[in-house]
């Protein structure tokens, strides 16, 4: 998974509610981070009218866990859009521990745009696609 440009980044802290019985970040938290960084990326680049008209749903998540993260860690979330075909958009996310840049997880997610009014799958304009393409 080698990231093309543009890459969107944000940092999140590991907080007490993120920790599970094994005293590290629970796997469901990684899913939440994948969604949060995807939404932040969309909101940062998509035109206002597209943000109002289009929502996103997930078809598939694949996550590979590389190392544990713990309470007090800061995690760098990096995301970018991969292949877009029809109405399926591939998105990649890398999660790295800020203190040592150690990769802790990576994800590949398939997203589908939906019409905010009808809830049905919809196409994305070439203008919007261009905001997320290399």
Spatial contact of 99 and 74, defined as CB atoms under 8 Å apart: yes
**CA 115 to CA 50: how far, in whole Å?**
10
The reported pLDDT for the residue numbered 3 is: 58
The reported pLDDT for the residue numbered 5 is: 58
Ranges of residues in the chain with a pLDDT under 50 are: none
The reported pLDDT for the residue numbered 39 is: 96
Measured from the Cβ of residue 23, the count of other Cβ atoms closer than 10 Å reads 9
The pLDDT tens digits for 90-118 are 999 999 999 999 999 999 999 999 999 99
Spatial contact of 3 and 80, defined as CB atoms under 8 Å apart: yes
Spatial contact of 28 and 67, defined as CB atoms under 8 Å apart: no
Strands laid side by side in the 102-115 sheet: 8-13, 74-85, 88-97, 102-115, 54-65
- 62 preceded by a cis bond (ω within 30 of 0): no
Q: Where are the domains of the chain?
A: 8-132
* Cα-to-chain-centroid distance, residue 93: 5
The reported pLDDT for the residue numbered 85 is: 83
CA proximity to 107, closest of 68, 61, 76: 61
DSSP code string of 83-129: EEETTEEEEEEEEEETTTTEEEEEEEEEEEEEETTT--B----HHHH
In CATH, what class is 8-132?
alpha beta
């Amino acid at each position: 998974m080698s990231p093309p440009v543009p890459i969107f980044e944000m940092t999140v802290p590991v907080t007490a509610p993120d920790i599970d019985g094994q005293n590290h970040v629970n796997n469901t938290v990684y899913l939440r981070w994948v969604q949060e960084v995807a939404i932040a990326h969309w909101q940062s680049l998509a035109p206002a009218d597209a943000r109002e008209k289009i929502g996103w749903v997930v078809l598939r998540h694949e996550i590979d866990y590389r190392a544990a993260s713990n309470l007090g860690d800061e995690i760098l979330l990096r995301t970018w859009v991969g292949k877009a075909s029809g109405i399926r958009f591939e998105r990649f996310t890398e999660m790295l521990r800020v203190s040592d840049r150690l990769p802790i997880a990576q994800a590949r997610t398939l997203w589908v745009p939906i019409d905010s009014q009808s809830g049905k799958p919809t196409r994305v304009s070439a203008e919007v696609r261009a905001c997320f393409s290399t």
